[in-house]
Structure 1
Amino acid sequence: MSFSIVVDHVSFAWPDGTTVLDRLDAAFPAGRTGLIGINGSGKSTLLKVVARELAPRSGSVSVSGVVGYLPQNVPLGAGRTVSDLLEISRTRAALHAIERGDVAEEHFTAVGDDWDVEERALAELDRLGLGHLGLDRTVGTLSGGETVMVALAAQLLKRPDVLLLDEPTNNLDLDARHRLYAAVAAWQGVLLVVSHDRALLELVDQIAELRDGAVRMYGGNLSAYEEQVAAEQEAAERSVRTAQGEVRRQQRELVEARIRIDRGLRTGRKAFENKKVPKIVANTLKGKAQVSAGKQRSLHLEKLEEARERLTEAEQGVRDDAEIRIHLPGTEVPAGRTVLTLPLERPRRTDAEPSRGAQGEPPHPSDGELPHRSDGESPHRSDGEPSGVVLEALVVRGPERIALLGPNGSGKTTLLRRIVAHGAQVPLRYLPQRLDLLDDRLSVVDNVRAVAPSASVNDVRAGLARFLFRGERANQAAGTLSGGERFRATLAALLSAEPPPQLLLLDEPTNNLDLASVRQLAQALAAYRGALIVASHDLPFLETLGITRWLRQDREEGLTES
């Protein structure tokens, strides 16, 4: 097999000495590869090394062809234009100068073979659903999702042989995600994408897992990877059970051997004491017995040690993907109890009719267009128009689980903040997109004690252990935590707060979380018994939560329920 990206013995460390990659070897073939791993495993760093954004401390990387790289955080600058983000402003300026009759050689040099750059740029923007953007529009007027998609268009304009994408669906609404999925599915070159987006990872040809400092390849998409890992884990657990049985058998045999040896020594001693054998014979027999006993003990101890080594080796094959297991009875809300009543202002419409696409066609499906409601019915009429009812007030009763959808910039975050400012009939807590609720100077324990002052240190530590902060890990300063650890610590503080929150607001909680952390979040929320409102574009995650109501925030219609 030929490889398009080869990583040879690469090591990388940050200036403070923190090692991220240590003599890493990896080879990525042609096609689409999804790179997965826990937060902090080095995925983004590896992509930056391949893209030549970072220089390795040792080792080398070889890449076949031109590389396009979309970082997780796109460099902005409110005064920059779409043309600047597409990296074509210099070429466009030269083209316009030539069109005005300026035939200076420098303009022709700047244009090169890109005489159709504006047409290609507009076509690429249109393909990604950004046809409404002008090339001279400033970045400051774009939504976060539009900025990411323009940055993707910039990479596609380069016609790269190898495309590197780092969490490209973060901050994208469903409409933009679907367009990105389509671009990935149509990609004919080499693609290496870091993502936790399940729908995106279902489109790849192979999965590369960065785990424990090594990369392992699995053929097929995410579902195929999970099936292979499940089969491996079943086999590994069988090996552990077999090895445990062998250790127990060797321990029994060692005990039985010691009993036999001790019995023989006692018999010989009694024979001498009863004058049944001469002293010289007794001493000879005793010496032989002791030698034999020593050999027997050594043999059984050696077998026991070998069995323990096989057990250790078998245990190393079992993944220690710890799970969050908590019990939160204090968050329970009785069915039917009203926990929130928030009056809503319906936006003023500027058009007499609903907006439609070209040639009068219904708009492209976007957030809120779900395949099925929880009751099995489609949330839309057969003609494609939303069938949602416009709400004049948001009323939440009992332990409802509400999904809040809507395109980027539609006001989902604003609505959640309004709820916080307005207040509820029960204690509420809000998890913003930025995990800035913790004091970086305080330990994890002290951060939780700050919101649960009456809880004892032992109770706080016991609670944190259920969020996988055990022993000294609970004493870490919040500022030293990895992304996944910080999220778990923030979640622990939210759910441990006094009084227990009976209304929980989450704003894009899965952004920047690895697959393990997303699973841990779902586990924690499964134990939550209060009312829940989650603003998210991550439909697979929402489907794990047992959503009971689907709401959509729209710039023109306001808040609707399907």
Structure 2
Amino acid sequence: MSAFLTLDAVSFKTSDGHPLLDNLTLAFGAERTGLVGRNGVGKTTLIRLMLGELRPASGAVAVRGHVGVLRQALSPPPGARVGDLLGVSESLARLDRIAAGQGRDDDFADADWALEARLAEALAEVGLADLDLDRPAPELSGGQVTRVALAGLLVAQPDLLLLDEPTNNLDAEARALVIRVLRRWKGGAIVVSHDRELLRAMDRIVELTSLGARTYGGNYDLYAARKAEEAAAAARDLAEAERALARVGREAQQARERKDRRDAAGKRFAAKRSEPKIMLGAMAERAEMSGGRAQLLAERQAAAAEADLAAAQGRLERSRRLGFDLPSCGLPGGRTVLAFEDVAFGYPGGPPLITGLDLRLTGPERVAVTGANGSGKTSLIRLATGQLTPGSGRVTRGVEAALLDQQTAMLGDDETLAQAFRRLNPEASDNTARAALARFLFRGAAADRQIGSLSGGERLRAALACVLNATRPPQLLILDEPTNHLDLDSIAAVEAALGGYDGAILVVSHDRDFLDAIGITREVRLGQPPADDLS
């Protein structure tokens, strides 16, 4: 089958003339494609080009068939009903008029007789079989809104689905539903995501970089394996280029030494012999020309070796993930970090969210808090930080803690990195602040960047730099869905950094790959009996 959507030599520049996409050629047909790439590389721009919301500077975008879109930020308008969110209210009203004997000619002409059956099947597919279509849409949770919107796409039966971060903010059950829907989908799909579990349901991965787009056959695991192979090959190429440059340098030095010895011998010969000066001059000229050719050859070899080295370094830099280390916090192994004793909590007028919770973190434990959306995970975090007070029971905080939420709210958009660091660490000098930021890869002028210009991964890294370089680094990190707005490279960097952290971690996350990577030792599932120790 021919492609549903093609991009032919598409280029795009930002409003200030910066080239973002250059000569991009891609085709999307009846396969599931995961679109990945670092934040800021142009994924959102590419989506808007596909949808016709932006025009390319050059090249063409062609669409054959119908494209259904699920956007990342969904917010039902005031007064909207579930049926409106599904996009079926008008069609259902038409069927109701026909059933009541009030149908007009155009109702019969436009009636979708199979709609009700498709609607029931779609709602069951996303786990909302009993949802009232007249329910006000703004009453739905964020996860329910996403699932309803996905059901609407299933009802509409487009040729190609375009999903932008469909599992962000979804709990484990809802994420599994989205993945199941995509595995059963028979049409084409383009899925922008950093969710590794979701990307495992793809047929291919397209990685967008500043150099263009590269396609990898297979799902995320095959893509990750290929990327690891490329990184290893790049490291080998770099080592070989370094050896080649050193060899060229040695050979050039040896050639210079041989020339110096010949020149010295020639001078001794000229001093001893009585040949006419014209003959000695010709001999010297031949030696000079020979030496010049050798020097030129050596320079060319050195330039070629240096070019190969620069290319190898570039390939390795592209294959490397962003890495940074966290400083030691010196947490003793037996210290009580945090304790909940028979804690209960509920908001006034609402049902109890947490009842009889007993939880103790000792030493550098790593505890994950999981559960369905609305089960009280955020409330537990706020109880741990003292932002909320339990209705009964007691919360004991034994060490200094730092909360890093999804929005990194401790950082102000209008301040620079250096300003944020000194505000959060008032005892630090400007030099101290810049040195601390440099350890987290914000070197030189990067320390003067405004917080609002940072990507999600950069914001989290900046927040870690600010809290962990304090005079007394926190011995407990509390993380609320830390991977929600990070790209794959940033997630890998954060996982590696947290893997070497010697303090305690309390984390809320639905990302099972992330929890496994940072070495969670215990899991607390709200709304269910406590899980067994995972260590």
Whether TM-score is above 0.5 comes out as: yes
Conserved in 2, the CA contact under 8 Å of 1:40 and 1:483?
no
**For 2:339 and 2:239, how far apart are their aligned partners in 1?**
55
Match of 1:325? 324
| Cα distance in 2 between the residues matched to 1:77 and 1:284 | 93
1:92 aligns with 2:92: yes
Corresponding residue to 2:501 among 528, 531, 545 = 528
Counterpart for residue 520 of structure 2: 547
Counterpart position of 1:52: 52
SS at match of 2:4: strand
Q: Is the CA contact 2:369–2:508 (under 8 Å) kept in the aligned structure 1? A: yes
Query: What secondary structure does 2:372 align onto?
Result: coil
Residues 319-370 of structure 1: CA deviation (Å, up to 9, x unaligned): 34344232422x232122112233411779xxxxxxxxxxxxxxxxxxxxxx
Q: Deviations over 1:508-548 (max 9, x none)?
A: 11102111111111122123222211101111110111111
Q: Are the structure 2 counterparts of residues 312 and 18 from structure 1 closer, same or farther at C-alpha, using a change threshold of 3 Å? A: closer
Structure 1 counterpart of 2:379, from 398, 407, 414: 414
SS state of the match for residue 526, structure 2? strand
What amino acid is aligned across from residue 55 of structure 1 in structure 2? R
Cα 1:13/1:413, change in 2 over 3 Å: farther
Alignment of 1:157-556 (within 5 A): 157-274=155-272, 277-318=275-316, 319-329=318-328, 331-343=329-341, 344-345=343-344, 391-421=356-386, 424-554=397-527
What stretches of structure 1 of length at least 5 have no aligned partner?
Answer: 349-388
Aligned counterpart, 2:392: none
Counterpart secondary structure, 1:500: coil
Question: Which residue, out of 139, 143, 156, partners 1:145?
Answer: 143
- Partner Cα separation in structure 1 for residue 130 and residue 269 of structure 2: 105
Pair 28,276 (structure 1): closer, same or farther in 2 beyond 3 Å: farther
Whether the aligned pair in 2 keeps the contact of 1:391 and 1:561 (CA below 8 Å) is: no
Q: Distance in 1 between matches of 2:471 and 2:130?
A: 48
In the alignment, what sits opposite 2:67? 67
Q: Which amino acid aligns with 2:23?
A: R
Distance 2:119 2:53 in 1: 25
- Quote how far apart the aligned CAs of 1:221 are: 1.0
Give the alignment's TM-score, normalised by structure 2. 0.90
Change (3 A) 1:106 1:312: same
Q: Which amino acid aligns with 2:362?
A: R
What SS does structure 2 have at the residue aligned with 1:3? coil
**8 Å Cα contact 1:448/1:497 also seen in 2:** no
Please state how far the C-alpha of 1:190 moved relative to its aligned partner.
0.8
Q: Match for residue 381 of structure 1?
A: none
CA drift of 1:397 comes to 1.9
Letter in 1 for 2:12: F
AA matched with 1:326: D
- Cα deviation for residue 497 of structure 1 reads 3.5
How far is 1:196 from its partner? 1.1
- Counting matched residue pairs gives 516
- Distance verdict in 2 for CA 1:64–1:540, change over 3 Å: same
Q: Distance in 2 between matches of 1:100 and 1:18?
A: 60
Distance across 2 between alignment mates of 1:498 and 1:338: 21
Question: What's the CA shift string for 1:10-39, capped at 9, x where partnerless?
Answer: 233444545432332222343111111111
2:381 and 2:2 map into 1 onto residues whose CA distance is: 50
CA contact 2:94–2:111 (8 Å) conserved in 1: no
Query: Which residue pairs with 1:10 in the alignment?
Result: 10
Q: Would you say the 8 A contact 1:391–1:560 is kept in 2?
A: no
Contact 1:64 1:162 in 2 (8 A): no
**Paired position in structure 1 for 2:351:** none
Amino acid in structure 2 at the alignment position of 1:487: L
**Is there any run of 5+ residues in structure 2 with no aligned partner, and where?**
348-353, 390-395
TM-score (norm 1): 0.86
Residue by residue, what CA displacement relative to the aligned partner does 1:183-208 show, whole Å, maximum 9, x if unpaired? 11111111111111111111111111
CA RMSD of aligned residues (A): 2.4
Q: Using the TM superposition, give the Cα deviation of residue 507 of structure 1 relative to its aligned residue in structure 2, in angstroms.
A: 0.7
Aligned 8 A contact 1:448 1:460 in 2:
yes
Q: Is the CA contact 1:451–1:498 (under 8 Å) kept in the aligned structure 2?
A: no
Matched-pair contact (CA < 8 Å) for 1:24–1:213: no
The answer to which of 446-455 and 539-548 deviates more is 446-455
Greater alpha carbon shift after TM alignment, 163-172 vs 331-340 = 331-340
- Tell me the equivalent position of 1:356: none
Q: Which amino acid aligns with 1:321?
A: R
